[in-house]
Amino acid sequence: MSRGLAALTGREILRVLKLWTQTVMAPIVSSFLFILVFGLSLGGRIKQIDGVDYEVFIVPGLITMAMVQAAYANNSASVFQAKFDRYLNDILAAPMRAWEVNLGLSLGGVVRALLIGAGLLICALLVVDVPIREPFVLIAAISLALLLFSSLGVVVGIYAESWDHTAFVNNLAILPLTFLGGVFYSVDVLPSPWEELSHVNPIFFLVQAVRYGFLGTSDVPVGIALAVTGGLALVCVAWSTWLFSTGRRIKP
Amino acid sequence: MPADRPPALQLRGLTKRYDDGFLALDGFDLVVPEGEFFGLLGPNGAGKTTLISAVCNLLRVTSGDIEVFGHPHGTMEARKLIGLSEQDVNLDRFLDVEETLLYHGGYYGMPRARARARAKEMMEVFDLSSKAKVRAPKLSGGMRRRLLIARALMHEPPLLILDEPTAGVDFELRLELWRYIRRLHGEGTTILLTTHYLEEAEELCEDIALIRGGRLLARDSAQGLRDAFDAETLADVYVKAMAAA
């Protein structure tokens, strides 16, 4: 790793750690409350799903939701702020290659998401017994998810012209699609056409891949879930790479 | 400067047309020899900041070539040789003074120990040591300006670009910055300065270029410009050159 890339990555991680109450603690607390409220209080009234207790069933989806939102929100905010305050120029003028700048700006969101994921898993294990049945699938699913949403965050941060734009994508796209992506239920129980429509939701496949990694069960074959997530990640990585290599939207 | 050494900065046919159609630079040619203190004067919108941004890879050039000490400006070699203090205060709001310098050193490939020593030196030179742990938004205007210049000098660039470094700065600090910039120049640093203060250009620069509408109107020493425009002061030169453009 070049010194420039190491410094930029370090700066992005420092930003996460300096604001840790907002960037790490708050998402863990809010997601843990979901586990407590939906899992423990309602769990006893809901029968098992795919042979798994409800309070266990929702944990993978909640971890996914917290992680991808963090990866996206971190990078969109950090890049937009750097652009808005123009300290991005200090980075763009430096002897770093376009891919290094892109990667350095992306890794802050990845680290933040991993801290949240690990913290939330530890909290969840205090109250429910969540297995990790397919660790390699879990690693692959989490890696692709973070690649997808950290790159998306960078892209939106570059295109955004106000804070509203970064929040818009999160509030009106990522969050609703995550809720509708089978975090709290199995889409198998949905009536037609909602079950079929769920399959055009990209986050559905991501939730399924992560759930398979934890529980060994999912609503679609795990290969398809990973392929869809990987395909989307490829698109977002290519998009952010193109923006940095051409300078479009970054440099006038 | 030895004849076989490339100039610190060379622009050939530099043109920049923004996406909205505005032509900021129109086939601009310029050579700044190594070791020179060069001033760029012109009204707002003349193309000064566009020129600087082009040199520092902060905009997409429409056409033309830029070389820094003989290296194409986009190369890693060229980038390492330039220090930029922008007109706008563009400090990272999440970093304190020391971190601002250290991370900048990192972006420019400085080893950690070297960056620490240089940051300490820069904080001492610019009287920022007592503010080492203060974040940029909490600094006074003068302190921010000092930090901008300290950051630009952090990686010891042989070409320093100062875009209106004394804008909004009180007279005392302006004199202090002048002293420091002169000392740097005396040590061999090539300096490209843009300013709206004509007396600043006259006081500091060996060579002055007047630009307007993205074109070079005139270039000479302050005395040479006065002679060429039959003017008593640089202000008179400026008025005549701009009126004729």
CA dihedral A33, A38, A39, A44 (to 10 degrees): 140
Q: How close is the nearest chain A Cα to the Cα of B112, in Å? A: 9
**What would the two tokens of residue A43 be?**
């769990």
Mutate to test the interface with B, among A1, A2, A3 (most CBs of B within 10 A): A3
- Say whether B103 and A10 touch across the interface (CB within 8 A): yes
pLDDT value, residue A37: 87
In B, minimum Cα distance to A101 occurs at B107
Could you tell me which residues come within 8 angstroms of residue B241 by beta carbon, excluding any fewer than 6 positions away?
Answer: B210, B212, B217, B218, B229
Contacts of A85 in chain B (CB under 8 A): 90-93
* Cβ contacts of A91 on chain B, cutoff 8 Å: 107
Q: Please name the member of B86, B99, B103 whose beta carbon is closest to the beta carbon of A89.
A: B86
- Which mean pLDDT values do the consecutive 10-residue runs of chain A (252 residues) have? 94 96 96 87 75 90 95 97 96 97 97 98 94 97 97 97 92 89 85 85 94 94 96 97 95 94
> Which residue in the block uniquely carries the two structure tokens 């209080």?
A41
> Which element (helix H / strand E) includes B222?
helix B222-228
**HSE of B20, CA atoms in CB hemisphere, 13 A:** 3
Please, what is the Cα angle at B18 between B14 and B21, to 5 degrees? 110
More confident residue, A42 or B135: B135
What does the pLDDT average to over B48-64? 96
Chain B residues with CB under 8 Å of A13 CB are: none
**Does the beta carbon of A18 lie under 8 angstroms from any beta carbon of chain B?**
yes
Biggest alpha carbon distance in chain A? 60
The predicted structure's pLDDT at residue A238: 97
Q: Which of B58, B91, B94 sits opposite A92 (nearest CB)?
A: B58
User: What ipTM score was computed for the predicted complex, to two decimals?
Assistant: 0.93
Measure in Å the smallest separation between the Cα of B41 and chain A Cα atoms.
23
| Token pair of B190 as six digits | 């090539």
Which among B90, B103, B106 has the least Cβ separation from residue A89?
B90
Q: What pLDDT is stored for residue B2 in this prediction?
A: 55
Confidence of residue B29 (pLDDT cuts 50, 70, 90): very high
Q: Does position B137 have pLDDT exceeding 60, yes or no?
A: yes
How confident is residue B3, by pLDDT bands cut at 50, 70 and 90? low
- Percent pLDDT > 90 in chain B is 80
Query: Residue A47, exposed/middle/buried by CB under 10 A (0-12, 13-18, 19+)?
Result: exposed
Residue A87 has its nearest CB partner, among B77, B82, B92, at B92
Q: Is the peptide bond prior to A193 cis by the omega test (within 30 degrees of 0)?
A: yes
Count of residues making up chain A: 252
Q: Kindly tell me the burial class for residue B27, based on how many C-beta atoms sit within 10 Å of its own C-beta (0-12, 13-18, 19 or more).
A: middle
Q: Do B59 and A4 touch (CB under 8 A)?
A: no
pLDDT at A65: 94
Contacts of A97 in chain B (CB under 8 A): 76
Q: Which residue of A has its CA nearest to B94?
A: A15
Residues A85, B108: C-beta atoms closer than 8 Å:
no
Contacts of A82 in chain B (CB under 8 A): 92
Express each pLDDT in B168-218 by its tens digit.
788 888 888 899 999 999 999 999 999 888 888 988 999 999 999 999 999
Tens-place pLDDT, residues B80-123 = 999 999 999 999 999 999 999 999 999 999 999 999 999 999 99
* CA of A80 vs chain B CAs: smallest distance (Å): 12
- A3 to B106: CB separation less than 8 angstroms, yes or no: yes
Mutate to test the interface with A, among B94, B99, B156 (most CBs of A within 10 A): B94
Q: What is the pLDDT of residue B1?
A: 53
pLDDT digits (tens, 9 = 90+) for A54-110: 889 999 999 999 999 999 999 999 999 999 999 999 999 999 999 999 999 999 999
Q: How many CA atoms lie within 13 A of B43 on its CB side?
A: 8
Please count the CA atoms within 13 angstroms of the CA of B34 that sit on its side-chain side. 16
- Model pLDDT for residues B232-243, shown as the tens digit of each residue: 889 999 998 888
Whether A249 contacts chain B with CB within 8 A? no
Straight-line distance from the first to the last Cα atom of chain B, in angstroms, rounded to the nearest whole number:
33
